[in-house]
Amino acid sequence: MKTGKTISIMLLALTGILFSSCATIPKGAVAVTPFNKAEYLGKWYEIARLDFKFERGLNNTTAQYSLNDDGTIRVVNRGYAYADDKWKEAEAKAKFVGDENVAMLKVSFFGPFYSGYNVIALDEDYQYALVAGKNLKYLWILARETTIPDDVRERYLQIAREIGFDTSALIWVEHNR
């Protein structure tokens, strides 16, 4: 009987760990609502990002979002690797965590493994977006063009700082190809 109780406690603890590690948005961040999926689709230029291994060394980075037949979103990220002197591309699938009216999604580049993709600031014309990953290690500023107005940049940086992002670590992406 004691062994069964111990296993139950261990399973309960493991379940708690799994669910707490599956957070899709950083504490203090709020996904944009209302959100219009159709307006968000299309090409976005990466203006700035917190560096991480899958984009390390890339510039001229873009994200292209389109609708899959099953209602999920096809994501194609593209960037130029100067060290290799070639373009690199990665394809993923994104789907909403809950209601499509809330800009909280999860994206998968590797089969069944998903990570958070949360639009936490967006202008009313869907020209500029601030996107947070699942935690404070992932942040992007996106725009429909290769530049962003200073006032939008400063507003997005302020939002990110208030949440706890280290904006001094942002890489400002070059678009010259």
More confident residue, 125 or 7: 125
What is the arithmetic mean of pLDDT over 89-109? Answer: 96
* pTM for the full predicted model: 0.86
Bridge partners, 86 (sequence order):
81
CA angle 119, 64, 139 (to 5 degrees): 35
Per-residue pLDDT, 7 = 42
Bridge partners, 65 (sequence order):
42, 75
* Confidence band for 111, pLDDT divided at 50, 70 and 90: confident
Three-class secondary structure of residue 153 per DSSP: helix
Q: Domain ranges in the chain?
A: 25-172
Q: What are phi and psi of 133, to 5 degrees?
A: -85, -155
pLDDT of residue 28 exceeding 50, the answer is yes
Residue 149: cis peptide before it, omega within 30 degrees of 0? no
Per-residue pLDDT, 112 = 85
DSSP 11-39: HHHHHHHHHHHT--S-TT----SS--HHH
Alpha helix positions (H), 22-149? 37-40
Per-residue pLDDT, 89 = 97
Q: Which fold has domain 25-172?
A: Lipocalin (2.40.128)
Out of 61-65, 109-113, 145-149, least confident range: 109-113
* Confidence band for 21, pLDDT divided at 50, 70 and 90: very low
Bridge partners, 133 (sequence order):
none
CA-nearest of 37, 36, 101 to 75 is 37
pLDDT of residue 48 exceeding 60, the answer is yes
Could you read off the pLDDT of 50-91 as tens digits, one per residue?
Answer: 998 889 999 999 999 999 999 999 999 999 999 999 999 999
